[in-house]
Amino acid sequence: MGRLQNEPHFHSKNKMKNNLLLKNPIQALIATEMGQILELPGFEMMGRSGDLYRKPFAEELSPFPENALENFLPNRVPMLWSSEKGPQPIEKSARETYFPTAAILPVGYLRTLLPAAAPSKRNFLPQWAYTAIGISNGERVCACIKIESSDRWENHYFNTPELQLKIEKRLSQNPQNRVLKQLALCASEYHCNTAQNIFYGRWEGALPASPVCNAQCVGCISLQPEELPPSSHERINFAPTVEEILNVALPHLEESPDPILSFGQGCEGEPLMAAATLEKAILAIRAKTLQGTLNLNTNASYPLGFLKLCKAGLETVRISMNSAIKETYESYYQPKGYGFEQVIETAKIARDHPLAVSINLLTFPGVTDREEEAEALLKFIKDTQIAAIQWRNLAIDPDQYLQALPPRKGQILGIPPLLNLIKSEHPQVHHLSFSRPKEFFRGRAMM
């Protein structure tokens, strides 16, 4: 197993880590029952990486990002570092009960450590990507690193006062179009940026296409079992027609600046389950316009259906995966009628077609950066020649996720060392947080 440990940068990282140990300890933050977030004197910040609890390294911390949200974890006990006794579960003081604190990061930031909350078998928390926080010299710090920023995803561009009017006007032009009605719900209820872009008429626009999925992800964001916290979106319950798709797609591609049309959204199942409809839609779109980029966000489970979309005119694809190891992937995706082999096959079809391939890497500290996961990911990148990794913080209760996965085999590298390892082994790979138009991958567009 110890290949990676022999890698020069792994060791240099280790040596560096010692140098990167924090000069000034980061103080711990806890929350009270009233939700107050307080510094707890005598205790330092800890973070969690899978099943490991430890103090953060300097390279894992950033100042608290603008637009990050601060909150606390109910029914959980904070694990803090006491200068006398080391790691301690600190449940309460004489006067009150304490809870672990966390941040929810804005897009563009990659989480490096989970909040140090004692593991719990009790009710799982809602679907957020909980991130460790602390305080240093009075300033909040967060266990995250910045991947990139794009002003097109800045909050001030979305949920603006004129949005509702734009939605109503568009709906009045096509009152029967179920896709538009769904996007209106997603734009106003779920505040989905790509749904809003359809009504603003710009950039990356959403186009959901499938009410069904051939996977049952533990953290599915559109369908969750009754007994678990609700999914963050309600899955569409209709199969859009080619006409409904064209009615949304053509105006977006023909009239928007830098248009991307993305099939495969959080409010649907798996778009490849609607491959027959999407094939007809893509052929019809490209018969009318060559404008913009046709993108597919997918679990890559149906190679044959995917090949049909490539031949029809699909241009970019983003493959969602939590791991490049069959066991880890399948224990999370719980696939029905396909396996990780089909994901690799689809990525290779895209490589050979060729399409610009990105992976939407559902990232989780202590899993994604396990030694064996890093090795498998490096091999996946080499075999499939992907162009980019979109680093996505996996939004799920940490204990729910870890309980679903096989135990780790090797060491945990840390998220920054993992990122550096991929950069040194595959310098051609872009590290992104947002989707890009086809021109970007052909070196003709920077945004």
Residue ranges binding ligand SF4 (CB under 6 A): 213, 215-217, 220-223, 269-270, 299
Contacts of 145 (CB under 8 A, 6+ apart): 59, 60, 62, 109, 110, 112, 415, 416, 419
Tell me whether residue 304 or residue 447 sits nearer to ligand SF4 (CB atom): 304
Q: Would you say 120 or 216 has its CB closer to ligand SF4?
A: 216
Please say whether the dihedral angle defined by the alpha carbons of residues 400, 405, 406 and 409, taken in this order, is positive or negative. Answer: negative
Cβ atoms < 10 Å from Cβ of 300 = 26
Closer to ligand SF4 by CB, 175 or 225: give it: 225
| Least spacing, CB of residue 301 vs ligand SF4, in Å | 8
CA distance 161 to 205: 19
What tokens appear for 158 in the block?
A: 């979305």
Which is nearer to ligand SF4, 65 or 211 (by Cβ)?
211
Question: Residue 256 or 297: which CB sits closer to ligand SF4?
Answer: 297
What is the rounded distance in angstroms from the CA atom of residue 176 to the CA atom of residue 154? 32
CA angle 298, 303, 308 (to 5 degrees): 90
Q: Smaller CB distance to ligand SF4: residue 296 or 374?
A: 296
- Residue 108 or 269 with smaller CB distance to ligand SF4: 269
**DSSP H stretches of helix in 393-437:** 398-404, 415-425
Rg of the chain's alpha carbons, rounded to an integer?
A: 22
Report the residue number, 225 or 443, with the smaller CB distance to ligand SF4. 225
Q: Are 147 and 432 in contact (CB under 8 A)?
A: yes
| 70 within 8 A of 37, measured Cβ to Cβ | yes
Closest CA relative to residue 314, chosen from 338, 278, 348: 278
Closest CB 214 distance from ligand SF4, rounded Å: 7
> Residue 220: which residues within 8 A CB-CB, separation 6 or more?
213, 231
Least Å from the CB of residue 86 to ligand SF4: 39
Torsions phi, psi for 363 (to 5 deg) = -95, 135
Cα–Cα distance list, 283 to 188, 274, 308, 314, 360 (Å): 31, 14, 10, 9, 26
- Asked whether 233 and 190 are in contact (CB, 8 A), the reply is yes
Residue 337 CB, nearest distance to ligand SF4 (Å)? 13
How many helical (H) and strand (E) elements, i.e. helices and strands, does the chain have? 14, 22
Nearest approach in angstroms of CB 311 to ligand SF4 is 23
Separation between Cα atoms, residue 100 and residue 29, nearest integer Å = 8
Nearer to ligand SF4, 118 or 404 (CB): 404
Smallest gap from residue 320 Cβ to ligand SF4 (A): 6
**Pick 112 or 368: Cβ nearer ligand SF4:** 368
Contact residues for 89 (Cβ-Cβ < 8 A; gap 6+): 77, 78, 79, 118
- Closest CB 203 distance from ligand SF4, rounded Å: 23
